[in-house]
Structure 1
């Protein structure tokens, strides 16, 4: 049977292992990692000090060890607050740690009671576990995430540890178990120490799961969004288009496509510089998003060319959206020219030409895009700053 000494050392070993795992994630620069690593280091030291009861001065194995354990859970909590981008309540936490340290001094040197000390540290650790759980439940929506599972897992684990620490406090408050020493091999003490071996590893494991989920979410978002404009990438656009095409066929709904690019974009770059050209592209996406619906997709197909997929929009609706978009983009954008002491803000005029095509029952996405592309080039040939439908383009070519 495991002794309390062995359980404490095993838990310290778990914390050391978690340090290596957290260290492997440091280059991700995700907030909270440094706090969680520091907390595990403190926990490992605290557990070794607790295990050395009787071998080292009581001040170290009782007062310092339990204060370090309290500091570790506080830093875990701060790590989760930093992870969610929240303010760090350092003063209240420092005061709570000072209170914990003072109470341990009183109930060791003034009135020596291991039961009272156990109740105090149990409530301290339990309340911070509850705070972690509630924080995650309240803040999960703030985080870029693929799945709610990592956050829910960590939150519920924290709540369960709060219940466990609360039960421990009640057991020793009521005298259900008469505790003489931390190393006492009673059933209750071994149970609570066994549960205690899971606290730091499971909270850290939950934090690591949340970090991995955020890293994966960011990688997917970066792969699917244009780094400059924030529009969908070409690859993501084709995925959405194929999915919407299948849905349109299955539900017998309309599907339309707009293809447009900036007229004389090279002239803008040559006149104002490439930085201004980039600002024009950003401005286009921002303004376009004001005209399209939440179910529509705007993607940067390359250079200054964009596409907008319009699910459940027939030819008339697509033409109306295209005309509104052309008019909105016709007003130009305000750009700071020559940043510096003599920088000035000027309006950089630009226009777009738009081709419109509505899906036919017998065609795929490539064919739909080809017709929209033909309409776009027809709009350019017609003088630019105009909307042309695929049907009009066919008539013009004829």
Structure 2
């Protein structure tokens, strides 16, 4: 099992301080006076804490210059101090009988933000926003999506290492179940639970998702596991992922339980070729849409274009789906150390589907797979 402590220095407090400085620079660049970060994924990006989302307000006020101020329930103080790159004097607590939004407003006043322009983390709930707004009526609020997208889209060396770990664990868990554990009569739900258990065993963190589909169900992209039983001579698709210190893997492997038909092999070979073209096209300076187009042309060339009915890929990091999106119409150019999925698929309704997904690190001459997948597993039997 992966020992979390062995990787504890990959994301040091110094790195989190650099992230705070980066976001403060972006706030200034966008003419914003500060940021309020509620307890969501961007809070974790800035302040390390993996605290669970709660109805009790936990938030950080970050001015564009100066030190951040944390608002947290009193009983959570020690948990927060253990995780975040702030000293105790910058942690302000509230009791259950108090209004935390008034405390938030008083900290904004202390930091000179009572009538400024403040960004909110993009996943702040509407209920939180309304309560914040009612206590800071003179503030002009804006969506912090662009701030955090610009901060997070290019991964650091330590982030790349965590993403590689998450991708490798996701890959190995899927392969272990496909190679060793498939038996006639098992249901999709049972196999999904096997994959989830293996993901947790490897990473030490709960599986984020474990989609398992058999036979005609594999023709439904992202269909949820059912009580459908595995029978001989049927397709099997597993799409699953775990995380390491918050950074995600997202892998799909499709195989055949029994002897694959000529039609399955034709489709599989085509998807495999499209996947490889997508990987090779993931180079610095290439627009996202051109990567999608390059892989899609492979599938369209054999008349299967209408059966590839989703984008080629999505960015991956602290969220399973984030920028950059590898889709037609997205003209954003790839940069070194962007990380995204490449996942072409062909879905023949009432027959079978094939999807092959890898996590890709953008390179100069080609994309680089974050893990080393083992394909064509039916050839082992």
Q: TM-score, normalised by structure 1?
A: 0.23
More strand by share: 2
Which one has a bigger Cα radius of gyration?
1
More helix by share: 1
